[in-house]
Structure 1
Amino acid sequence: MASPSQYRLLHGKGQSSLSLPAGSYIYSLCQSGIDALAAISSDNSLRRFDRETLKVLPNGVFANIHPGNGGGVTCVCEVDPVVAEGKSLVATSGRDGTVKLWDARDKRRDAVLTATSAKAAPITALTCGPGPCTIVAGTEFVASQSSVICWDIRSPGQPCLQYVESHNDDITEVINSIRFSHSFHTPNFFPFPFYMLVPGFCGWSASPQGI
């Protein structure tokens, strides 16, 4: 058994309410650029704040981002900076069945991109990656199916991939990762990327999918 001296204790450096309304709480956090973090909360907002001071940044509040009947924000993730082509983009998903991209430098407070799931099924899981499918979302179990939907932000009008019959419950997590394999058909074993999507759902199961 490890002795207490082997553990590194963490000490809080500060705290902030991020100017949230009374009774609101934070759902999730993600990186947003080099010096900032983004948070989604129960008041249906997205907030960007300084990671050192924990102060909300100027023009850092995006309010009522997923409105409508049964609406509300569910997930947040940072879009890969390479894919974003220099922009500071954050993706959110909602119970309204949409994925939206927000540009931290855009003062209009409007989403710069909106994509919608099939049948507007509530989105319960979201991830962003550097592969051909920039954004991957998982949906709630609706009408006897839940879906894993992949979009390329360069052409978001239609999903680039969609898995419909691979799950029988709400999808609670998706992981979009890259693993490098080797081609044994070339003398130099040239590495090529293999994209692996791993969605998980209620019931403690996971279903890897190649992209």
Structure 2
Amino acid sequence: MYNLSQVDAYQNPGQDPAYMLEIVPVAQGLAAISSDQKLSLFDPLNLSKGPVRTIRTTHGNINCARAYDASNSIVCTAGENGTVSLWDLRLDGSKAQIATPGGSDAPLVSLACSAAGNAIVAGTEFTNHQASILIWDARAGSAPSIRYTEVHSDDVTELNFHPTSSNILLSGSTDGLVNICDTTITDEDEVVIQTFNHGSIHHAGFLNNTEVYAASHDEKFALYDMAENQEVGSATVDFGDIREVLNCQYVANVTPKMGDNGAVIGAGSQNQQLFQLIHMAKSPTWSFSAETSVGLPGAHGSELVRSFRFFDQEQVVFTAGEDGKIIAWRPS
């Protein structure tokens, strides 16, 4: 294992600091959402200085944030009261909220954006006997252009667009299913073109144009392949309980490395106060490269890491955690 060292950090104030929930690289720096309902912008080269800009959102409890456009200038957020907002962090104060595409009558717990398709997609909690996937045209009015209410039967916890086809959407749910949908189809009986039955979905997404990963809330991890053209596909690689495979206690998330035929898994061990970035590659089958893993010793203490981002060219990794910190890590 190759260890990085902590070189800079920001700590939310107070005896019980707000959790850092998500960090998103943007053209202006590093955006972050926190459990005190704030959207903050940081200078990634000077975290300890604190936020360059802070906006109090109006989502009730803010749940998710994603970059909207390819240039990473606009951030999309969503939350408990069912609202979605677009923010241009180049603008000050109230001017930063450039659009409120719409809302839902149920809390929003997942989010995906496709600037290529001018689409914002949000997934709801299971409320009033249904869970919905809502799609807005970012150029149009506040009403969703598409609403799917039968794709999932429980909370829609994950949404991701296909890396090259902006009409193909992956959705995951606590109902155990990962569904691949063609959003050009409005008929709910036809919209799901493939299904993978994995278990209550914590995270799922595309590794490349055909292969999909899925991680469950009980840390089961498997890969699936759309190219098999089965209506209900079985796992092509089933790693089982990923905690036993990676010697960790939880997986924070998975970051695909498009073009490299690989991915990086962020895995934490609270009892060891350690977070690792573990590379997974396909050569010719998918496997983990423990010898090339990167360790972040100390991590966020005994608290969970909620989000991580890495920048290979700058040789820097950022992590955000439930201790209220954002930390920058570099080689010693």
Q: How does 1:1-211 map to 2 (within 5 A)?
A: 7-17=1-11, 19-23=12-16, 24-33=18-27, 35-54=28-47, 55-58=49-52, 60-63=53-56, 65-66=57-58, 71-81=60-70, 88-109=73-94, 111-118=97-104, 120-179=105-164, 193=165, 195-211=167-183
Q: Shift in Å at residue 172 of structure 1?
A: 0.7
How many percent of aligned residue pairs carry the same amino acid?
31
1:111-156 CA distance string (max 9 Å, x none)? 22113334x2100001222332421110011111111111121114
Render the CA deviation track for 1:161-184: whole Å, top value 9, x for unaligned.
Answer: 2211111111111011233xxxxx
Aligned-pair Cα RMSD in Å? 2.1
Greater RCO (CA < 8 Å, at least 6 residues apart):
2
- For 1:114, the aligned partner's letter is T
- The 1:39/1:21 distance shift into structure 2, 3 A limit, reads farther
- Tell me the TM-score normalized by structure 1: 0.76
1:71-101 Cα offsets, whole Å, 9 max, x none, are: 211101111136x8xxx21111010100011
Change (3 A) 1:11 1:203: farther
What SS does the aligned partner of 1:28 have? strand
Q: For each residue in 1:31-68, what CA deviation from the matched residue of structure 2 results, as whole angstroms up to 9, or x when unmatched?
A: 121x511111111111110122214453x1002x125x
Q: For residues 171 and 15 of structure 2, what CA distance do their matches in structure 1 show? A: 35
In 2, Cα distance between the equivalents of 1:20 and 1:129? 35
1:197 counterpart letter in structure 2: L
Where does the alignment leave 5 or more consecutive residues of structure 2 unmatched? 184-332
Ranges in structure 1 where 5+ consecutive residues have no aligned partner: 1-6, 180-192
1:107 to 1:149, Cα distance in 2 relative to 1, 3 A: same
Q: Is the 8 A contact 2:154 2:174 kept in 1?
A: yes
